[in-house]
Chains A and B, each alone.
Chain A
Amino acid sequence: MANTEHLFDLTLTEEQRITRESMRRFAGAEVRAIARAADEAGAAPAGFYDQTAALGLSLLAIPEALGGAGAGRAPISNVLAAEDLGYGDMSLAIGALTPLGFINTVLDQGTEDQQERFLTPLADETFVAATIALMEPRATFEPTDLHTTARKENGRYVLNGEKSMVALGDTARFILVIANVEGENVPAAFVVAQGSEGVSFEKEEYMGLRPLSLQRVRLQNVVVAEQDRLGGDKPFNLQRLVDLSNIGLCAAAVGCGQAVLDYVIPYVNDRIAFGEPISNRQSVAFMVANMAIELDAMRLMVYRAASRAEQGLEFHQQAYLCRVLCAERSMEIGTNGVQLLGGHGFTREHPVEMWYRNLRAVGILLGVAAV
């Protein structure tokens, strides 16, 4: 039940406003400046993620007793961070938020013992990667229909299967593998440490999100101790993970969409055709107007879902519809961003083609950047 004393409000708290300022400065200056080079290189520049660690993304979430700052679960703050970083670059934003997705899931669904064992190593001034392996490499993939299996054998689990689009998989200290438990026929999450026997990686190449190391992870008879099944006997709430990650991904998409809008406005105002700025034409101006309208609708859907999650309300329907809208509209914004720059938009001299490629992922990715 909602706390019906709270008024409808879109005002940030003082703390959120201050954090947002530094996040925006960082995204606008540092992240944007390296985005294109990172896209060309297919990797984040050395030291970049350590810089993001200084923003406290992981540390804030981890309880004080485990070496963190203990700010508690804060989906709204996470969403604002995802939006602001996404404004700088969507790939690098998702990369920076990947450990947080793992941390949030362990906080939400792990036992105390698991939180201590898996979060303490992540409470560090430098960037320690940890990730979630949910997707599988096939069309029609559905989170509730997993082909990766976990077989219980002599008091431990044996994992087999193939995971796809695992962000930072190759460098992650821990990988939370979502698998179907044989016999029980329910999804469960297993913490697999880097270097475990039977785990192999292969870098996947995609049309976009190129700086984000997305890995194919093959699991061949990987042995996981019973106490590393997240939450122990409690059923794993996969829908919660999917919903929270949809909110995080959509928030990053809102940031990227805002970047497109802010880029095309001066362009169409400066670009002269037939003797006047092309923005004097309704066909151009209306595309810009619609971008702003849909973008703000996306943003409000993200905020509502996140704020419900933060208040402990049901948020599945809101997160679901948020993803539906954001997947469709963010791609529309991406493609119109290129269109408004014409042939110039198609060249790699401008960032809009990169944003177009990155925004295509909003309808695809699952299980990343859980807020």
Chain B
Amino acid sequence: MINLELPQKLLTAQQMAHQLAKGAFRPIARKYDKIEHCPTPEELIPISQMMRAMGGQAVLGGKKEGGKKDGSKSEAAADSVKNGANLMGIMATTEMAWGCCGLMLSLPGVGLGNAAIDTVGTPEQKEKFGKLYCAMAITEPGCGSDSAAVQTTAKLDGDEWVINGEKIFATAGDRGDAVVVWATLDKSLGKAAIKSFVVEKGTPGMEVVRCEDKMGLRVSDTAAIRFHDCRIPKSNILGSPEIAADAEARKKAFGGVMQTFDNTRPMVAAMALGVARGALEITRELLEKEGVNADYSKSLYNSSALEAEIYRMEANLEGARLLTLKAAWMADNKQPNSKEASMCKAKAGRVGNDITLKCVEICGALGYSESWLLEKLARDSKIIDIFEGTQQIQQLIVARHLLGKSSSELK
């Protein structure tokens, strides 16, 4: 039955996350934007402990239903529709990003590396690393979107992998307990030889070189990490150590690695939704003080320019929100959603950026001023259209799906 309203289960999760965002994130959002470089903000530690106690609520996606013990009733018929961990993750992420996207990403225990371990890790690895705060290190100085071009190498030496190379833009790479590192076993074999490895903090040969100074998302640490003959146990590889033999199998192997993103992209889209909604709400509040009340009472072109702008922003945000829910719903129901995950990330990413920038403009001096959060949201929103696949990468993925093209045809 077609129904795009949210069930009580999701509404409750949304309300709880909203209370947290409002009570714990908003009041300190500006403070930590100013402080920028610091250890994990102390205010976040009890929150993260609470979240773990509750069964590790999915935030960055990919997690299986956590704390639920009695799978009997709700999991009844195999073919029945499910609203599960992915939709739950969208709720939580949207609300927390509404509070402060940077603080959300600074919550210990919810790193992108955790999503990777949850998606491709063995039961033993999940057991061993699941409780750690795991960052993800893919990007290098010479490779960003082109993640198949990583230069960092991993070589098996006895019972250990030896990692060498330099990673940048690792979110939580400084504060995290471990880093999931992408490295190649053999540069000449391309994508298929790229594997991911868990490197725990303190392993000799791993060094955090610096944390970036950024335009926005300042409280979240973005680390550059150098690996010099860094030795880790053989069992720390995620997925198979074999390099697929033929071209088809190689393609499939890398596809498996990239599958993590089918789960995480809707979550990043959800960040954009939260940030943009936050900006719109503040804008509406400021405009209402000036007597502008966009109440949908007149058709678009008979409304004032300000009202019309609000309507356009709300319409685009709602479109992005529904695309995001759809992608997550597909994941919950085991439908392949690679195209839809990219569609929602593309739409939400650009809409989030457009809206926050427009809100700053509409509110004039107040929008631009650090006395309100609008300017911060406009700085924060930019990265959401970049990380976890830029706008352009998402469009490439969607286009290849639609046109039936390979990456060698549509470059």
A positions within 8 Å CB-CB of B: 2-13, 16, 76, 140, 142-144, 261, 265, 268-269, 277, 279-280, 282, 285-286, 288-290, 292-294, 296-298, 300-301, 303-304, 306-308, 311, 313, 316-318, 320-325, 327-328, 366
- Residues in B whose Cβ lies below 8 Å from that of A13: 1
Bound together, the chains give a CA A285 to CA B11 distance in angstroms of: 38
- Residues in B whose Cβ lies below 8 Å from that of A322: 315
Which residue of A is nearest B408, CB measured?
A280
- Residues in B whose Cβ lies below 8 Å from that of A4: 5-8, 11
Cβ of B346 under 8 Å from chain A = yes
Q: Across the interface, do B298 and A285 meet the contact criterion of CB distance under 8 Å?
A: no
In whole Å, how far is A201's beta carbon from the nearest beta carbon of chain B?
26
5 closest residue pairs by CB, A with B: A297-B319, A300-B322, A285-B399, A4-B8, A304-B4
Cβ of B343 under 8 Å from chain A = yes
Q: Across the interface, do B347 and A297 meet the contact criterion of CB distance under 8 Å?
A: yes
Q: Is the interface of A mostly helix, strand, loop or mixed?
A: helix
- Residues in B whose Cβ lies below 8 Å from that of A265: 402-403
- Residues in A whose Cβ lies below 8 Å from that of B405: 279-280, 285
In whole Å, how far is A204's beta carbon from the nearest beta carbon of chain B?
20
Which residue of A is nearest B320, CB measured?
A297
Total of A-B residue pairs, C-beta within 8 Å: 166
In whole Å, how far is B256's beta carbon from the nearest beta carbon of chain A?
24
Q: Across the interface, do B396 and A285 meet the contact criterion of CB distance under 8 Å?
A: yes
Q: Across the interface, do B322 and A324 meet the contact criterion of CB distance under 8 Å?
A: no
Q: Across the interface, do B347 and A293 meet the contact criterion of CB distance under 8 Å?
A: yes
Task: Given A300-B4, A300-B323, A307-B4, answer yes or no on A285-B403 (Cβ-Cβ < 8 Å).
Answer: yes
- Return 21 A-B CB contacts under 8 Å, by A number: A2-B6, A5-B8, A6-B5, A7-B3, A7-B7, A8-B5, A9-B3, A9-B81, A9-B329, A277-B409, A282-B392, A293-B346, A296-B343, A297-B319, A297-B320, A304-B322, A307-B5, A320-B296, A320-B311, A322-B315, A325-B315
Task: Given A8-B6, A142-B302, A327-B300, answer yes or no on A289-B402 (Cβ-Cβ < 8 Å).
Answer: yes
Q: Across the interface, do B5 and A11 meet the contact criterion of CB distance under 8 Å?
A: no
Task: Given A285-B410, A303-B4, answer yes or no on A8-B316 (Cβ-Cβ < 8 Å).
Answer: no
Which residue of A is nearest B409, CB measured?
A280
Task: Given A280-B405, A289-B399, A320-B296, answer yes or no on A325-B3 (Cβ-Cβ < 8 Å).
Answer: no
Cβ of B398 under 8 Å from chain A = yes
Cβ of B71 under 8 Å from chain A = no
Bound together, the chains give a CA A316 to CA B3 distance in angstroms of: 17
Bound together, the chains give a CA A10 to CA B87 distance in angstroms of: 13
Q: Is the interface of B mostly helix, strand, loop or mixed?
A: helix
- Residues in B whose Cβ lies below 8 Å from that of A8: 3-7, 10, 83, 87, 325, 329
Q: Across the interface, do A293 and B1 meet the contact criterion of CB distance under 8 Å?
A: no
Q: A8-B10, A143-B299, A285-B410 are in contact. List 19 more A-B contacts (CB 8 A).
A: A8-B5, A8-B6, A8-B83, A142-B299, A279-B403, A280-B410, A282-B411, A290-B395, A292-B343, A296-B340, A297-B320, A297-B322, A297-B347, A304-B4, A307-B3, A313-B5, A321-B311, A324-B312, A366-B299
Q: Across the interface, do B398 and A292 meet the contact criterion of CB distance under 8 Å?
A: yes
In whole Å, how far is A64's beta carbon from the nearest beta carbon of chain B?
24
- Residues in B whose Cβ lies below 8 Å from that of A317: 296
Cβ of B65 under 8 Å from chain A = no
In B101-152, the 8 Å CB interface with A consists of none
In whole Å, how far is B266's beta carbon from the nearest beta carbon of chain A?
13
- Residues in B whose Cβ lies below 8 Å from that of A280: 405, 409-411
B positions within 8 Å CB-CB of A: 1-8, 10-11, 81-83, 87, 296-302, 311-312, 314-316, 318-320, 322-323, 325-326, 329, 340, 343, 346-347, 392, 395-396, 398-400, 402-405, 409-411
- Residues in A whose Cβ lies below 8 Å from that of B302: 140, 142
Q: Across the interface, do B311 and A286 meet the contact criterion of CB distance under 8 Å?
A: no
- Residues in B whose Cβ lies below 8 Å from that of A320: 296, 311
* CB-contact partner of A328 in B312, B347, B398, under 8 A: B312
Bound together, the chains give a CA A12 to CA B396 distance in angstroms of: 30
Q: Across the interface, do A9 and B2 meet the contact criterion of CB distance under 8 Å?
A: yes
In whole Å, how far is B31's beta carbon from the nearest beta carbon of chain A?
35
In this complex, the member of B81, B297, B396, B403 whose beta carbon has the largest number of chain A beta carbons within 10 angstroms is B403
* CB-contact partner of A301 in B301, B319, B404, under 8 A: B319
* CB-contact partner of A288 in B2, B82, B329, B402, under 8 A: B402
In whole Å, how far is A328's beta carbon from the nearest beta carbon of chain B?
7
Q: Across the interface, do B409 and A5 meet the contact criterion of CB distance under 8 Å?
A: no
- Residues in B whose Cβ lies below 8 Å from that of A294: 319, 347
Task: Given A2-B5, A140-B302, A297-B319, answer yes or no on A282-B396 (Cβ-Cβ < 8 Å).
Answer: yes
* CB-contact partner of A142 in B1, B298, B316, B325, under 8 A: B298
